[in-house]
Amino acid sequence: MSLEPRFKASDATVEKDESLYQGFFQLKRLTIRHRCFDGEDISIARELFIRPDAVCVVLVDPKLDEVVMVEQFRAGCYDHPESPWLLELVAGIVEPGESVTEVAGREAEEEAGVQIHDIQHVCRFTPTPGAVREYIDLLCARVDANLAAGVHGLDEEGEDILVHRIPVDDAFRMVREGAIHNAPSIIGLQWLELNYPRLKAEWGVLED
């Protein structure tokens, strides 16, 4: 079953586009007129946080049954009751002219010191559509986890990234127990749990 949206992008029109702040990210106020389900239309004003498109990639070693993840401080979780250091997927912003697979490869080397193979596109989603203009492409790729270790990141971007190798079953359990607190990692690991036997078969890795 496929449920198509009632309206299309052409049923909404930006009437006013105001820039409120331009820094590392951008803040806008948009006035948008759009159609309503009752046949009328309405004009709304919303502040919108603008982020460039991004890529997140699930790094898995099917021979060792490990995923490679990274830990880093996140300002948006400065008041998290447990810790603002989050366990995450390797991720990065799409630069002009880059493909999503190029971003995945660049970030896997920069953040975890590994090269990616057998890339699969999982989905494209928006994490906070009510307040943030951001689209994320979620990928999965095969890596050699033996090469993943240490602290990585670019000094000019203020990155301080610790690499972790985690048995896949432990990663799946952490999602179920609520120990992972960011949406791309939860989505990616749940997808991996559902698709892991198929991936191992496609990659020619026999189950024990």
Three-state secondary structure call for residue 195: helix
Catalytic residue among 18, 47, 157, 202: 157
Q: What is the pLDDT of residue 145?
A: 96
Count of domains observed in the chain: 2
Query: Is the pTM value of this prediction over 0.85?
Result: yes
The torsion region of residue 85 among left (phi > 0), alpha (psi -120 to 50) and beta comes to: beta
Q: Which tens digit of pLDDT belongs to each residue from 91-110? A: 999 999 999 999 999 999 99
Q: Is 157 a catalytic residue?
A: yes
Clarify whether residues 129 and 186 are in a common domain: yes
Clarify whether residues 39 and 100 are in a common domain: no
Clarify whether residues 16 and 89 are in a common domain: no
Clarify whether residues 44 and 62 are in a common domain: no
Taking residue 147's Cβ as centre, other Cβ atoms within 10 Å add up to 13
Q: What is the pLDDT of residue 205?
A: 83
Q: Which tens digit of pLDDT belongs to each residue from 62-93? A: 999 999 999 999 888 889 988 999 999 999 99
Clarify whether residues 37 and 25 are in a common domain: yes
Clarify whether residues 70 and 157 are in a common domain: yes
Q: How far apart are CA 207 and CA 123, in angstroms?
A: 26
Contact 55, 71 (CB under 8 A): no
Strand partners, 46: 30
CATH number at residue 140: 3.90.79.10
Q: What is the pLDDT of residue 149?
A: 87
Clarify whether residues 39 and 141 are in a common domain: no
Domain carrying residue 22: 9-50
